[in-house]
Structures are given as C-alpha cells and as structure tokens.
Homo-oligomer: A and B are copies of this chain.
Amino acid sequence: MKSIFTRNWRRTVKATLTVIALSLFVPSLALASHGSGEEGGHGSHFALVLAFLGVIVVLAKVAGSIAERFKQVSVLGELLLGIALGIPVLFGWHFFDGFKENELVLFISELAVIVLLFQAGLESNLHEMKRVGMKAFIVAIVGVIVPFVLGTYVLAPWLFPEGTSNFALFLGATLTATSVGITARVFKDLKISQTKSAKIVLGAAVFDDIMGLIILAVVNGIVQSGHVGPGEIAWISFKAVAFLVVSIFVGRLLAPHIGRFLSRISSGVSMKMALALAFAFGYAYLGSQFGLAPIVGAFAAGLLLDSVYFSRFVHPKLTNEIEKIVEGCQDARVSSEVQETLKEHRHRHIEDLIEDFGHWFIPVFFVVTGMAVNLSVLADMKVLLAALALTVAAVLGKIVSGFFAGKGADWKVVGLGMVPRGEVGLIFAAIGRQSGVINDEAFAIIVVMIILTTFITPIVLPRVIKKSVEEKPVETPVV
C-alpha cells in the first residue's frame, strides 16, 4: 500500500517531484487574484486546541498505563498528569493556562463526564444489587450519611470557618461518593469477588451512585436558587427522584420500540451507538430541564438501557468475517462455547460501543481536572494538613459503614472497599468549582483527598483481605 515510500527510495523522489510538479500550475491559475483577507486566526486557534487535545490524550494513556503497572487505576495516572501540567505555572510559565479555560476543551471535558456517567449507569447491575439488597443498602446509606455529616458539619466549619453553607454542603457531598472500580479489581485479583463482603461493596456502590446523584441534585438546586427553605429542598428532592423513576420507567417502555423501529431502517452498529448516545444526551437535557445536573440524566439513561433492546443491530463487517469463520469451522468439532462467542461477537454491546466512544474523551476530563488544581496553594502547610484531615474523615466515614455489613462479611474489607472516591467525587468537585462555590484552596484539598483515598486502597485492601482470609480461611461464598 503506502509502503511506496519506505520500500523504495527512488519512488519517494518520484512522488516528491510529482507533488512539486502539481504545484506549478496553481500559481499560474491564481495569478490575477486580489481580495480582502478575513480572520485567518480562527482555523489556527481551532487547530491548536485540537493538537493540544490530541497530545494530551496520548500522554494521558501513557500516564494511565504507568499507573496500572503500579496496580493503580488509570484515572489516577491521568489526574496526576493533569496536576503535573500545572508545575510550569509555579515557575511563571503559563502555557497551558489558556487551554484549561478554553471553551472547546471544557466542552470535550463535559461531554466526557456525560459519557462517563452514562457508562456508570450502563454498568450498574441492579440484579446483582438485589441479592445483597438490604445489607448493601444500609452500608451505602451509612457510607453516605457519615461522610456527609463529617464533611458538612465538622470539617467545613473547622477547616474553612469563613466558608459559606453552600460550600459546606458541597464539601460534604464530595465525601459521599464511592468509586469501586479499583476495589472490584482487587477483589478479582485475589479471587474473592464471590464472597459476601465483595457483593455488599459492589451492591452498595450502585446505591451510592444513585444517592450521590440525588444529593448532587439537591445541593446543585440549593446553590442555584440561593436562599432555600425546607419546602424547596423537599421539592428539589422530589423532582430528582420523580425524574429518575418516571424517566427510567418511560424509557424502558419506549426504548425497545425505538430500537426495533430504527433497526428496520439501519441495522448497523453506528446506528446503535448513535441511538445510545441520543438517549444519554437527551436524558441529560431532560434532567437539566428538571433543574438537575446533566449527569443525573445521563446516568438514568444508562440505567434504563439494556442491550436486549437494541439486539437487532449487528456489526456488518464483523458479521461477514464471523460467518466466514463459522463456515471454516463448520465440519469441525467446534465447542458450543466457541460458537456462542462467535455469535456474541456479531452484536457489539452498548457498553462496548460507548466504551470505545469514551476512550478518547474521558481522559480529557481527568487531565483538565488535574490541571485545575492550583499547585501554589498546596505550598501552604495548613492546606496540606487540611487535605490530610479531609482524607482521614473520608476514610473513617466509609469504614464506619463496614460495621453494618452484618454476619458473614468482614467489616474491614467492606469498609476499606468503599473508601476510594474516584470519578464521582471529582465530578462533584469540578461542578462546585465551576459554579464558584468551591475556591482554589478547597478544590486542591478535595483533589488531594480523592487521590489519597484512591491510592491507598489497592495497597491496604489486599493486606487486610489476606489477613482476614488467614484468620477464618473460608468466608461463606454467596451462590
């Protein structure tokens, strides 16, 4: 193909000469031209932003992969990369400052958050949650209330006596989140995903997501409408819950019909992806019409969509190839498992499609959030101590929830498993910062807390689990 250049240098020269030859006629055509120049800067600015995004995402993938080698989540690497990009600012070099406030970069970053919460919704396994339902629910409730109270009523007045009550609310809200991606990986690595402790943590995380979003809706509503009485808070909460319940209910009724109808027109996976994203974006808008953050809608869209609805869409290219494979294997003894894999392959799940779509966007959010950390505020010892205090509160608040895991589960494993704040906490902090409720100092402190809670878990949790297994070798597996 294009190895014309690499294979044969003579051809390179030929091609070069060809292109040069091409150019000779252009001036002759354009000779007689005059005219008035207009905005040459736009294309260049646009291209600069794109180039920044292109390079940043590659660097983020590198940082994420390095983090994964250290058994950390890639998010942590991406976040630290963003923070590292803030180092030049300390030396008075403000090159990246323009980007982090750039509207297009922020747009991509916000789009990424929508996709992220949509993914979280898609991956939330309500069925799984049901099994350990009540226990997980109680753990989740405690794991939300305790950190919230600690943050809003203890830490906020103590660390930020001059802060507004809105600020206190946001601080509490960022402490409620749970991001169990890394915990789930630890459980998988140590092959204890099937134990009761693991099931409770994973179930509680889904409850946590939903509760966190409702809290966000309420806090957001309060921040937006200023002075708020109990009646209005009840009204905002009612709206949030009503939106989630009604929209998921209506969506589940409509989605299969829409999917069937559109698959008759075009059954390709590109339609499937467009449809899934339309749900995510449409729900984000609907949510915002109810005064909720767009991410609440996107999460609801993820919860309601089920791959079954869009099962008629297939990947035409893959389908062809797989049919060839099946033909080749036909007269052979091919296990039913393999045949199943092949059939699966034809349909690409919504989760996979959205994951592919998000691959490029999502790192932008984490890098931009990291860049928003003003490193100079961290030079203050007081700020660092505050970050530490917040981290301690964040850890304690979740460990307390472990006490409610009940018999058959290890409270230390459950409690520690809930500690990492990850994405959701970051999204809260980013929203608070954008709306001006959270200042530079508090934002930096929150990010440090999120980094520490996320960083600690894969280091401490495996030791606790191993100790727990040694003490009572067989933990009741839930079947």
Question: Across the interface, which residues of B come within 8 angstroms of A277, CB to CB?
Answer: 54, 57, 360
Q: State whether the Cβ of A324 lies closer than 8 Å to any Cβ in chain B.
A: yes
CB distance from A256 to the nearest CB of B (A): 9
Q: Please state if A230 and B27 are interface contacts (CB–CB under 8 Å).
A: yes
**How far is it, in angstroms, between the C-alpha of A25 and the C-alpha of B145 when the chains are bound?**
9
Q: State whether the Cβ of A97 lies closer than 8 Å to any Cβ in chain B.
A: no
Interface residue SS majority, chain A: helix
Interface string of A234-275 (1 = CB under 8 A from B): 100110110011001100100000000010011010110111
**How far is it, in angstroms, between the C-alpha of A238 and the C-alpha of B288 when the chains are bound?**
52
**How far is it, in angstroms, between the C-alpha of A54 and the C-alpha of B308 when the chains are bound?**
21
**How far is it, in angstroms, between the C-alpha of A286 and the C-alpha of B48 when the chains are bound?**
9
CB distance from A67 to the nearest CB of B (A): 11
Q: Please state if A32 and B165 are interface contacts (CB–CB under 8 Å).
A: yes
Q: Which of A210-218, A380-388, A463-471 is the interface stretch?
A: A210-218
Question: Across the interface, which residues of B come within 8 angstroms of A126, CB to CB?
Answer: 1-2, 4-5, 15
Q: Which of A79-87, A184-192, A338-346, A439-447 is the interface stretch?
A: A338-346
Q: State whether the Cβ of A479 lies closer than 8 Å to any Cβ in chain B.
A: no
Q: State whether the Cβ of A306 lies closer than 8 Å to any Cβ in chain B.
A: yes
Q: State whether the Cβ of A428 lies closer than 8 Å to any Cβ in chain B.
A: no
Q: Please state if A224 and B40 are interface contacts (CB–CB under 8 Å).
A: yes
Q: Please state if A245 and B16 are interface contacts (CB–CB under 8 Å).
A: yes
Q: Please state if A223 and B48 are interface contacts (CB–CB under 8 Å).
A: no
**How far is it, in angstroms, between the C-alpha of A107 and the C-alpha of B104 when the chains are bound?**
7
**Least CB separation from A294: chain B residue:** B47
Q: State whether the Cβ of A127 lies closer than 8 Å to any Cβ in chain B.
A: yes
Q: Please state if B265 and A66 are interface contacts (CB–CB under 8 Å).
A: yes
Q: State whether the Cβ of A436 lies closer than 8 Å to any Cβ in chain B.
A: yes
**How far is it, in angstroms, between the C-alpha of A325 and the C-alpha of B219 when the chains are bound?**
51
Given contacts A33-B165, A46-B110, A227-B34, contact A244 B27 (CB under 8 A): no
Q: Which of A328-336, A419-427, A451-459 is the interface stretch?
A: A328-336
Question: Across the interface, which residues of B come within 8 angstroms of A332, CB to CB?
Answer: 329, 331-334
Given contacts A27-B237, A214-B23, contact A43 B169 (CB under 8 A): no
A27 contact from B61, B137, B218, B338, Cβ within 8 A: B218
Q: Please state if B237 and A26 are interface contacts (CB–CB under 8 Å).
A: yes
**How far is it, in angstroms, between the C-alpha of A76 and the C-alpha of B11 when the chains are bound?**
37
Q: Please state if A297 and B234 are interface contacts (CB–CB under 8 Å).
A: no
